[in-house]
């Protein structure tokens, strides 16, 4: 579908309705959180009723985001004494499939309009109205375009949230999804008075020492195959326990694998109950979105994720076979 048509359909939905439920994927990061908070702020400036509900809590590194306290847990939402009685529209941001919102799916009324705003190439267009811009570096970038078309005021609060989403989803503007319109959007956001050095410091220079302890253990697990073309690392519950760390402290660890010369694809394996969660990164030769899609996951050509039911060794064997096939290795 034409993206401009999608944008106007989103605007029609916003203008025609009053009460909105906003949510995003489990294990939220900068783009998920920034897009939710920015969208909520713009809706409230239009005198709309808005509630944000996420299945998983906000990681501490994002506690500086403006209005972050507006994000409710499911428990908080269910015990609200003053909330929205009738949800007109459920807005799902940065989610390629509806299942990515986890248990929040249970509170979405059957009769409400479902609005899907995303940038993942693997998006399944699951909603009544879908605005999916796979050329955008982030969902926050897609919202920036939407807000401009709506002539919405982007104040310093909205700008901080959008900037954070773009910054984190482009890996600090180092990933190949960083394109000219990325920097044009950033220039406009900077004009609001946001401080990029302060945001960077709040995001990347406040880690607890437990992150370093965990990193040392995960780096010790690094393995390689196919003459170094495939490099992967592992995180186990025992590592978390020994480091005194939560799983959220492992964010971006996989990027270390891509610093090795000759690597084409990297994977990060994390044991999670009866599943193994896997994150992928690629230099571009291998489409990791296709590999993740085989197991019900997805994302982008160069960055995707999935989970496999079974043991860690089983998951590694499965993925290694997939990588071998992708690399044309026997």
Least confident of 84-93, 122-131, 249-258: 84-93
Are residues 89 and 133 part of one domain? yes
Are residues 95 and 33 part of one domain? yes
Q: What is the mean pLDDT of the chain?
A: 94
Are residues 189 and 86 part of one domain? yes
Percent of the chain with pLDDT over 70: 97
pLDDT of residue 330: 53
pLDDT of residue 3: 64
pLDDT of residue 80: 74
Structural tokens at position 122: 């693997």
Read off the CATH number of the domain in which 135 is found: 3.90.1640.10
Mean pLDDT in residue range 230-242? 98
Are residues 227 and 91 part of one domain? no
pLDDT of residue 84: 61
Q: What is the pLDDT of residues 142-191, one digit of tens each?
A: 999 999 999 999 999 999 999 999 999 999 999 889 999 999 999 999 99
* Tally of structural domains, the chain: 2
Are residues 251 and 184 part of one domain? no
Angstrom distance (rounded) from CA 286 to CA 273:
29
Choose the final residue of a domain: 161, 180, 204: 204
Choose the final residue of a domain: 169, 204, 239: 204
Are residues 170 and 235 part of one domain? no
Are residues 188 and 224 part of one domain? no
Are residues 146 and 72 part of one domain? yes
For 306, the domain range is 209-326
Q: 207 or 330: whose pLDDT is higher?
A: 207
Are residues 138 and 218 part of one domain? no
Choose the final residue of a domain: 204, 236, 258: 204
Are residues 271 and 155 part of one domain? no
Are residues 251 and 120 part of one domain? no
pLDDT of residue 46: 97
- pLDDT greater than 50 at residue 1: no
- pLDDT greater than 80 at residue 106: yes
Read off the CATH number of the domain in which 214 is found: 3.10.310.30
Angle at 27 between CA 25 and CA 32, to 5 degrees: 50
Who contacts 273 (Cβ-Cβ below 8 Å, separation ≥6)?
Answer: none
Are residues 115 and 163 part of one domain? yes
Q: What is the pLDDT of residues 44-89, one digit of tens each?
A: 999 999 999 999 999 999 999 999 999 999 999 987 745 566 899 9
Percent of the chain with pLDDT over 90: 92
Query: What is the sign of the dihedral through the CA atoms of 175, 32, 66 and 160?
Result: positive
- pLDDT greater than 70 at residue 2: no
Closest Cα partner for 34 from 59, 4, 8, 5?
59
pLDDT of residue 79: 77
């Amino acid at each position: 579908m034409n993206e401009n048509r999608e944008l106007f359909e989103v605007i029609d939905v916003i203008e025609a309705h009053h009460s909105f439920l906003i949510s995003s994927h489990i294990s939220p990061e900068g783009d998920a959180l920034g897009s939710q908070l920015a969208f909520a702020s713009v809706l409230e400036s239009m005198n709309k009723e808005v509630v944000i509900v996420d299945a998983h809590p906000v990681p501490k590194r994002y506690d500086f985001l403006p209005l972050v306290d507006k994000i409710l847990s499911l428990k908080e939402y269910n015990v609200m004494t003053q909330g929205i009685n009738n949800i007109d529209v459920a807005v799902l941001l940065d989610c390629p499939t509806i299942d990515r919102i986890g248990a929040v799916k249970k509170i979405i009324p059957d009769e409400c309009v479902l609005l899907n705003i995303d940038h993942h190439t693997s998006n399944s267009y699951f909603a009544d109205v879908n605005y999916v811009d796979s050329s955008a570096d982030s969902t926050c970038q897609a919202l920036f375009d939407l807000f401009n078309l709506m002539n919405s005021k982007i104040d310093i609060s909205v700008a901080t949230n959008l900037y954070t989403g773009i910054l984190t989803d482009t890996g600090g503007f180092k990933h190949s999804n960083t394109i000219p319109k990325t920097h044009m959007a950033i220039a406009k956001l900077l004009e609001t008075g946001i401080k990029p050095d302060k945001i960077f410091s709040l995001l990347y220079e406040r880690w607890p020492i437990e992150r370093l302890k965990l990193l040392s253990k995960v780096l010790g697990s690094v393995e390689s195959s196919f003459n170094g073309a495939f490099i992967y690392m592992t995180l186990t519950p025992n590592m978390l326990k020994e480091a005194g760390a939560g799983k959220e402290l492992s964010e971006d660890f996989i990027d270390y694998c891509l610093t090795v010369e000759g690597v084409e694809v990297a994977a990060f394996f994390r044991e999670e109950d009866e599943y193994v969660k896997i994150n992928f990164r690629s230099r571009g030769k291998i489409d990791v979105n296709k590999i993740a899609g085989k197991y019900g996951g997805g994302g982008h050509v160069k960055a995707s994720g999935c989970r496999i039911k079974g043991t860690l060794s089983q998951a590694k064997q499965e993925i290694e076979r997939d990588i071998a096939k992708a690399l044309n290795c026997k």
